[in-house]
Amino acid sequence: MKKEYYITIDGKDVPVTEEVYRAFKRPAWTERKRREIRSENERSLEAFTDDGFDIPSEQALVDELVEDKLLLDMLSNALLELTDDERDLINALFYEEKSERELSKDTGVPHPTIHSRKVSVLQKLKRLLEEKL
């Protein structure tokens, strides 16, 4: 026995093919599924907050992004105030993620010297950033 499909148009049930029925109903099914997922997510979020986790507001997230951007800008400007050698040291240790020993081996500069230069440059960066705050 073949299943019959109907859609309601102007209050009347109109017989249609299965393909037409599915095409007609698909947007409603999709929206209902979205609402179900949204509802499940909201319940999950409520359970998450009930367990003591703090979910920051959208404004708090925006504030953090702005603050991070400002700090990155300040750091970029402070890095520009370093000498080329100081920037090269910071770049190798923090951006290329080389260890002090690797850098010592690559450059031929003794490890203790690399370490003391790093400490000195970081102190200089700290001072430059504090001046801008």
Express each pLDDT in 86-112 by its tens digit: 999 999 998 899 999 999 999 999 999
Report whether CATH 1.10.10.10 matches the domain 58-132.
Answer: yes
**pLDDT surpassing 80 at residue 58:** no
pTM (2 decimals)? 0.53
Find the DSSP H helices in 1-133. Answer: 18-50, 58-80, 84-90, 100-107, 111-132
Domain ranges of the chain: 5-50, 58-132
